[in-house]
Amino acid sequence: AQSVTQLGSHVSVSEGALVLLRCNYSSSVPPYLFWYVQYPNQGLQLLLKYTSAATLVKGINGFEAEFKKSETSFHLTKPSAHMSDAAEYFCAVSDNSGGGADGLTFGKGTHLIIQP
């Protein structure tokens, strides 16, 4: 069974600073990995996904994530934070063996706070 750990339920950065949100996964097979963003009172929006192609994945809104198999990590970064990046971020993993119809396993989320 797969699992996801997001380190830090809250992360605070200054506007213009680097954003780093951490995600570690556990999976018995090569995983698919995802990052989602959720703004208040809205659904989740897919930021980016890793599906065993390039290990550095670029997403929307200037975010990117790097798959590191040796570290079982998929951290999300953005070089320069903007006030509009303040939101909840979820990391998710799936087992691409096709046996699990119950879909993705989500982390508990990280609330990103941007300080002016």
The nearest distance, CB 100 to other proteins, in angstroms, is: 5
The phi, psi pair for 83, rounded to 5°, reads -55, -35
Q: Which is nearer to other proteins, 50 or 78 (CB)?
A: 50
At its nearest, how many Å lie between other proteins and the CB of residue 59? 12
Q: Please provide the DSSP assignment of 32-79 as one string.
A: EEEEEEE-TTS-EEEEEEE-SS-SEEE-GGG-EEEEEGGGTEEEEEES
CA distance 30 to 55: 13
Contact residues for other proteins, defined by CB under 8 A:
32, 34, 36, 41-46, 49, 90, 94-104, 106-109
Q: Which is nearer to other proteins, 9 or 80 (CB)?
A: 9
By C-beta, is 14 or 45 nearer to other proteins?
45
